[in-house]
Amino acid sequence: MTRATLDKQPHEVASMFDDVAANYDLTNDVLSLGQDRRWRKEVAKAVDARPAQKVLDLAAGTATSSQPFARAGAYVVPCDFSLGMLRVGKKNHPWMPFTAGDGTKLPFRDDVFDAVTISFGLRNIQDTEQALRELYRVTKPGGRVVICEFSHPTWAPFRTVYEEYLMRALPPVARAVSSNPDAYVYLAESIQSWPDQPTLAGLLQRAGWSKVAWRNLSGGIVALHRGFKP
């Protein structure tokens, strides 16, 4: 995989993440200038996990994103289709129920989870709409979805600067800190190809989610979408 399109082959994406698993969390911290920590805090607030609730963290990678839910007392299932990511996560958090799974065909029964969430992974799933329908299927009635994903800055001058960073500055930084810098070139291109905030909200509604809303973080670099299952 050398160019980013929305027609992704799952085995190629999984292999790419296998290759970057060892330094994935460090690389994200460097490339986001530490902003990823703030974004994850906002996800945790939006999910609002409670003791004894069941939370699905899809595209959890090494389960860094899962930790706030576990600390809140929820039963959290980190799920990912990259076995390399899961191995690193299991080494770091051996007590967590890591599960291998494809976002377009989740290995869970209907109406299982009180909350489902995915951070920075939806754009890497081959069929976005099918993934949103699967998240809907495994959520209990009254349950919620929270999606944190790179998006499009709302202020045009800032958007220009941001896109320059993605395509010019990100690759050399990735070469310095990542085990597979080409993967981050793909990620930069996938961000540019991703739908904007209103379009993603429309996809959520089409998948059945109600009360869909979003808010921008860091000027729209990231958007936090939320919805509920009637």
Residue 80 assigned as binding residue: yes
119 is in an annotated binding site: yes
Is 29 labeled as ligand-binding? no
Annotation-wise, does 103 bind a ligand? Answer: yes
> Residue 102, annotated ligand binder?
yes
- Three-class HEC string of the chain: CCCCCCCCCHHHHHHHHHHHHHHHHHHHHHHCCCHHHHHHHHHHHHHCCCCCCEEEEECCCCCCCCHHHHHCCCEEEEEECCHHHHHHHHHHCCCCCCEECECCECCCCCCCEEEEEEECCHHHCCCHHHHHHHHHHHEEEEEEEEEEEECCCCCHHHHHHHHHHHHHHHHHHHHHHCCCHHHHHHHHHHHHHCCCHHHHHHHHHHCCCEEEEEEEEHHHCEEEEEEECC
Q: Residues marked as binding?
A: 62, 80, 102-103, 119
Q: Residues marked as binding for S-adenosyl-L-methionine?
A: 62, 80, 102-103, 119
